[in-house]
Amino acid sequence: EFILHNDKPRARAAPPTADPVLFEDTSASAPAMNSQEYYSQGYNMGEPSNDMFGGAGGNNLFTDPMASAAMMYGSSLANQGKDMVNKEISRFMSVNKLKYFFAVDTRYVLKKLMILMFPYTHQDWEVRYHRDTPLTPRQDVNAPDLYIPTMAFITYILLAGMALGIQKRFSPEVLGLCASTALVWIIIEVLVMLLSLYLLTVHSDLSTFDLIAYSGYKYVGMIFTVLCGLLFGSDGYFVALIWSSCALMFFIVRSLKMKILPSISSDSMGTGSSAKPQFRLYITVATAIFQPVIIYWLTSHLVR
C-alpha cells in the first residue's frame, strides 16, 4: 500500500510536469531564434522595394555603384564648367578690377545710402584719384560700387516675393518673371548708355562696371517705395515714388556730371566745340529722367 500510495502521487504529478514540457517545446525551442532571423532578413530584403517610405532603401541609393558613378561624373562636369566660366570671365574682365567695386566697408555703405536718399545735403561730388587711379569705395564715398546694387537687387526680389505673398498672388513663375524683368532693364539701360556714348563719341571715365553701378542704385529707391506702399497704401507709395525719383535723378546728374568729360572728337565728327557741353548734358539728363520710369514700371504691380 505504501508503494501504491506513492505511485498515485507520482502518476498524478506526471501530467503537471508534462504540460510545461509541451508548452516549452512549442514556444521556447531553439528554432525560434532562427525564425526571428528569418523574419528579420525577410523584412530587410523587402525594404528596398519601398523607396517611397525612405529607410534602408534610401540609404542604399548612395551605396549603389551606378549612383556613385553618376554623382562623380556630375561633380566633374560641374568643376569643368566652373573652370570654363572663370576662364571666360578672365578673358573679358579683370578680377582685380571687379574686386575694386566690392572694396567697401560698413561706414561707406551707410554714407552711400544716406547720399542716395538725401543727396541734396551732399556737397563734394568729385571722385578722388591717387596717381591716376581712382580710390576704392571705402576710401572715397563718391566712387561707384557694385556691392550696394547687388544687395539691393536681391532685397528687391525678396521684397517682391513678400508683397506677392501678402496679396495671395505669389508663384515661382511670377517671382522669376519679376527678377528677370528687373535684370533685363539694367542690361538695356547699360547698352543704351554705351551706345549713346559711342555714337556721340563722348570721351568719359565711365566703364561698363560704372554704368552697372549707377543703374543699380535705383533698387535702393525701389525698396523704399515698395515698403511705403505696403505700409501706407497707395498714397504712401506715390509719395515715396516721388521722393526716391527726385533723389535718384539729382544723384545721377551730379555723379555723371563729374564722370562724363566734355571732350568730343570734333575732328572726326566735324562739329564745333560749342556742341560738346550739349551732348554731355543730353546724355546726363536723359539718363536721369529715365530712372523714375523704370522705378514705376518695376514697383507699381507690387502695390495694390
Burial-class residue 222 by CB neighbours within 10 Å (0-12, 13-18, 19+).
buried
Summarize pLDDT for 260-289 with one digit per residue, the tens.
754 444 444 444 444 456 777 888 888 899
Residue 223 lies in a domain: yes
What percent of the chain lies above the pLDDT cut of 90? 40
Residue 109 lies in a domain: no
44 lies in some domain: no
194 domain-assigned: yes
Q: Examine residue 18 and state whether it is found in any structural domain, yes or no.
A: no
Tell me which residue range forms the domain holding 161: 153-301
Distance CA 73, CA 69 (A): 6
User: How many H-runs (helices) and E-runs (strands) does the chain carry?
Assistant: 12, 4
Cell digits of residue 265 = 572728337
- Beta carbons of 279 and 269 less than 8 angstroms apart: no
Q: How many domains does the chain have?
A: 1
Residue 267, domain member (yes or no): yes
| Cα dihedral sign, 268-271-276-278 | negative
pLDDT, one tens digit per residue, over 166-211 is 888 888 888 889 999 999 999 999 999 989 888 877 777 788 899 9
Confidence (pTM):
0.66
Confidence of residue 238 (pLDDT cuts 50, 70, 90): very high
Residue that the C-alpha cell 525564425 belongs to = 35
**Sequence-separated (6 or more) residues with CB below 8 Å from residue 248:** 116, 217, 218, 221, 288, 291, 292, 295
pLDDT for 251: 95
Position 205 scores a pLDDT of 77
Tell me what pLDDT residue 67 has: 55
Set of cell numbers at residue 123? 556737397
Does 27 map to a domain? no
Given a contact cutoff of 8 angstroms between Cβ atoms, the answer to whether 219 and 149 are in contact is yes
Is there a domain that residue 197 lies in?
A: yes
